[in-house]
Structure 1
Amino acid sequence: MSNLNEEVSIKLVGKITLLMPFLEQKLDIQLEVKKAIDETLYNYEIQSKCTDLVASDIEEKAAIYQACKKLEGLSQRTLDNYRLFLNKLDQFFTKPCSTISTMDLRMFLAFMGKEKQATTVNGYITMLKGFFGWLQAEEYIIKNPAFKLKQTKVPRVILQPYQPENLERLREACITEREKALFELLDSTACRISELDNIKLKDINWQERSIKVFGKGSKERIVFFSTRAKLHMQGYLKSREGESEYLFISERGSHNHIKVRALQLIIAKIKDRAGVGERVHCHKFRRTQATRLLNSGMRIEGVQGILGHTTPSTTQIYAQLSQENLKNEYRRLVV
C-alpha cells in the first residue's frame, strides 16, 4: 500500500471515530475498520489533488503519526505529550520533513533544552527518534536525521523512599476518612495516583483485599491493599455523600468523579499539617513500598509485577536493597 493510501486509510478511521464517538474506547473495532478500508483500497492508487508548494508538512505528518500511535494503544497522556512536542517542532521549522537535517534537529534541541534538565532533553531526543524513525519506516523520508542524535549521560541518583518517622507523621496528619483511605491505598498498593483516581467499586475485591487497576497503556493488573486501608475505605464509603461507580468522588456539588490534581492537593494538605521537611508527593509512595517489599525478601520479579513495570530494570530504579540486607545476602551466599 502506498503512503497516500495509508494516509487516507488513517484519516478515514479518524473521521469515522469523530462521527461515532463510542469507537474512541473500542480499539479492536477501529483496527477492524482500518483493515476493511485497507482491503478496499488495495487495488487502487490514490493521488493527491494538491499541487501547491508546501512550506512545512510536519503538522500533517504529525497528525498521521499520532493516529498510528493511538491505534497502538498508547495512553491519552502520552499522546498529549507527543502532540504538544510535535506542535513545537512544527512551529520551529518552516520546511518539509524531508529537508530537515541532523544539525537542524540539534539547533531545535538547543532551543528547547534551555534551562532544562538532561533527563528532559533526553525525552525530547526519544520523541524525535520515534517520529523521524516512523517517517523513514513509512517512506516519507529517505534518511533519518534523528539517527545520529545521542542521549546525554545522566548521573544515576538513587531516589530515597520516605523516612519511616515522616511516613507516620503523614499518617497521623490525616483527618477525614477520605484522606485516610487515600493515604493507606497509596502506602500499601504502590499504585500510581492516576490508577487510584480511576478505581471503580466493582473492581474492588473486599474479601481478598485486592483491586483491579489499569496502568500505563491500559494494562490491567491486580494490586493488594492492607487491612488498615480496607477499614478506612469502608469508613469513607459509609460517610461520603452522593452515589458514584468510582471510589473517590468530589465533596462538592454533584459529587462527580474526582480528578488526579484534586487527589494530589489532598496529599499536599496532609503534608502541610504534618510539618514534614522532606519532599512529599504521590509517586514517592510507590518507591517506598517497592523498597519495603524488596527489603522484606520479595524477588525483584514480584516487585515488578506489583508496580506494573515491563522490565526489572525499571523496577531497580524504584527499589534499592538496604545496606543491611545487602550484607545479609552476601553472607548467606558467600562462605
Structure 2
Amino acid sequence: MSNLNEEVSIKLVGKLTLLMPFLQEKLNLQLEVKRTIDETLYNYEIQSRCTDLVASDIEEKAQIYLACKKLEGLSEKTIKNYTLFLIKLDKFFTKPCSTISTMDLRMFLAVMSKGKQASTTNGYVTMLKGFFGWLHGEEYILNNPAYRLKQTKVPRVIQEPYKAENLERLREACITEREKALFEVLDSTACRISEIDNIRLEDINWQERSIKVTGKGNKERIVYFSTKAKLHMQGYLSIREGESKYLFISERGSHEHIKVRALQLILAKIKDRAGIDERVHCHKFRRTQATRLLNSGMRIEGVQGILGHTTPSTTQIYAQLSSENLRNEYRKLVV
C-alpha cells in the first residue's frame, strides 16, 4: 500500500474516532478498523490534489534536532539510535510535522511495535515525546501530538548478580594476563564495557588504584580497582606487544586499541572454559559490584557515584540488599 493510501487510512481512523469517542480508549478496535480500511483500499491507488501538503519535513527538522542533541552532549550511540528512528518516522509519513496528529503517532507505534517487547515500544514513545516536544518548544508546531502518548507498564524483573561460586570459576578460567586483567577490572571497577574499551594509560593512577573514565553523555568520573586488578594490569602491560596509549589492545595486526565486540568475545571464551550455565555479560559485573558495595554498607549515593548513574533510582535497579542486610537495617530503625 502506498504512503498516500496509508495516510488516508490513518486519517479515516482519526475521523471515526472523533465521531465515536469510545474508540479513543480501545486501540485494538482502532487497529481492527484500520485493517478493514486497508483491505478496502488495497486495490486502489490514491492521488492527492494538493502536492504541497504531501511533502514531509521530518528529515529537515530531524537534522536540526540531532544537532541540538549533540550540543547537549548525548553519546554517539544515542545519536545513532535517534537517527535510525527518525529515518523510519520520515519514511512512514508523507506530510509536514505540523499536520501529524496523536492518532497518526499511535498508528505509527502500532506498526513499529509489532512483535516487539513492551520496553522497546516504551523506547519509541520516549523518542517521539522527545522529538515532538522539541518541535513544540521551538515553535515549529502549535500542538504536541506526542503529549498524550502513554507508556506501557513493564513488569519489574529482579536481575540477579553473579553467584559467588560462578564468579570464582570465571576467575580460575582466565588463562592469559590480558584475560586476568580484563576480568579483575570488570569485577572491581563496575565499569561499562564501552568505558573499559577507552581506558587510556594516562588516566590510570597506580598509587591510588583509580581510573578516570568517560561514561554516558561524555561525563567523567573516577572508579577504583583492586590490588588483584593492579597486579594483572601491570603484568599484562609488561608482556604485551605493540605500543598504544590505551590499556587493552588487539593482539593482531597493528595492535590498535581493542573494540567492545572483541572484549565481549574474550569474556565469552572465559565463560566456555568455566563451564557455567549462568549468563555471562559485562553489565552483570556492574550489578554484582553494586550489590556487593551496598551489602558492605556503602550508601546508595556512593554506589550511584561509582556506577555513574544520574539518579539513585537507576542504581536501585542494579543493586539489591540481601535479605540478611535488610533484616539488620530494619532492626537498626525499629525496636
What band does the TM-score fall into relative to the shorter chain?
0.7 to 0.9
Percent of aligned positions that are identical = 85
Query: What is the TM-score of this pair, normalised by structure 1?
Result: 0.84
CA contact (8 A) 2:54 2:94 kept: no
Offset of residue 52 of structure 1:
6.1
Tell me the distance in 2 between the aligned counterparts of 1:98 and 1:269: 52
* Over 3 Å off, 4+ runs: 51-54
Tell me the distance in 2 between the aligned counterparts of 1:225 and 1:122: 36
The residue type equivalent to 1:132 in the other structure is F
The residue type equivalent to 1:259 in the other structure is K
Offset of residue 278 of structure 1:
1.1
Q: Residue by residue, what CA displacement relative to the aligned partner does 1:294-316 show, whole Å, maximum 9, x if unpaired?
A: 00000000000100111111100
Q: Residue by residue, what CA displacement relative to the aligned partner does 1:236-289 show, whole Å, maximum 9, x if unpaired?
A: 001110000000100000000111111111111111111110111001100000
Q: Secondary structure, in 3 states, of the residue corresponding to 1:223?
A: strand
Corresponding position: 1:305 with 2:305:
yes
Q: Secondary structure, in 3 states, of the residue corresponding to 1:293?
A: helix
Tell me the distance in 2 between the aligned counterparts of 1:275 and 1:114: 37
Q: How many residues align?
A: 285
- The equivalent of 1:261 in structure 2 is 261
Moved more, 323-332 or 124-133: 323-332
Tell me the distance in 2 between the aligned counterparts of 1:111 and 1:237: 51
- The equivalent of 1:95 in structure 2 is 95
Offset of residue 99 of structure 1:
1.0
- The equivalent of 1:76 in structure 2 is 76
Tell me the distance in 2 between the aligned counterparts of 1:237 and 1:292: 28
Offset of residue 54 of structure 1:
5.8
Matches within 5 A, 1:1-335: 55-335=55-335
Offset of residue 111 of structure 1:
1.0
Distance 1:85 1:163, change over 3 A: same
- The equivalent of 1:47 in structure 2 is none
Tell me the distance in 1 between the aligned counterparts of 2:278 and 2:115: 25
Q: Secondary structure, in 3 states, of the residue corresponding to 1:128?
A: helix
Tell me the distance in 2 between the aligned counterparts of 1:120 and 1:52: 34
Tell me the distance in 1 between the aligned counterparts of 2:92 and 2:72: 28
The residue type equivalent to 2:58 in the other structure is I
Tell me the distance in 1 between the aligned counterparts of 2:76 and 2:151: 26
Q: Residue by residue, what CA displacement relative to the aligned partner does 1:6-33 show, whole Å, maximum 9, x if unpaired?
A: xxxxxxxxxxxxxxxxxxxxxxxxxxxx
Q: Residue by residue, what CA displacement relative to the aligned partner does 1:68-124 show, whole Å, maximum 9, x if unpaired?
A: 101111111110010011011111111111111111111111111111111111011
- The equivalent of 2:9 in structure 1 is none
> Mind listing any 5+ residue stretches in structure 2 that lack a counterpart?
1-50
Tell me the distance in 2 between the aligned counterparts of 1:278 and 1:90: 42
Tell me the distance in 1 between the aligned counterparts of 2:290 and 2:274: 23
Q: Secondary structure, in 3 states, of the residue corresponding to 2:161?
A: coil
The residue type equivalent to 1:149 in the other structure is L
Offset of residue 157 of structure 1:
1.1
Moved more, 90-99 or 216-225: 90-99
Offset of residue 160 of structure 1:
0.6
CA contact (8 A) 2:53 2:95 kept: no
Offset of residue 53 of structure 1:
5.7
The residue type equivalent to 1:75 in the other structure is S
- The equivalent of 1:12 in structure 2 is none
The residue type equivalent to 1:181 in the other structure is A
The residue type equivalent to 1:73 in the other structure is G
> Mind listing any 5+ residue stretches in structure 1 that lack a counterpart?
1-50
Tell me the distance in 1 between the aligned counterparts of 2:66 and 2:244: 33
Q: Secondary structure, in 3 states, of the residue corresponding to 1:212?
A: strand
Across the aligned residues of Structure 1 and Structure 2, the Cα RMSD in angstroms comes to 1.1
Q: Secondary structure, in 3 states, of the residue corresponding to 1:191?
A: coil
CA contact (8 A) 2:53 2:96 kept: no
Q: Secondary structure, in 3 states, of the residue corresponding to 2:233?
A: helix
Tell me the distance in 1 between the aligned counterparts of 2:272 and 2:88: 37
Tell me the distance in 1 between the aligned counterparts of 2:250 and 2:54: 49
Q: Secondary structure, in 3 states, of the residue corresponding to 2:183?
A: helix
Tell me the distance in 2 between the aligned counterparts of 1:195 and 1:175: 23
Offset of residue 141 of structure 1:
0.7
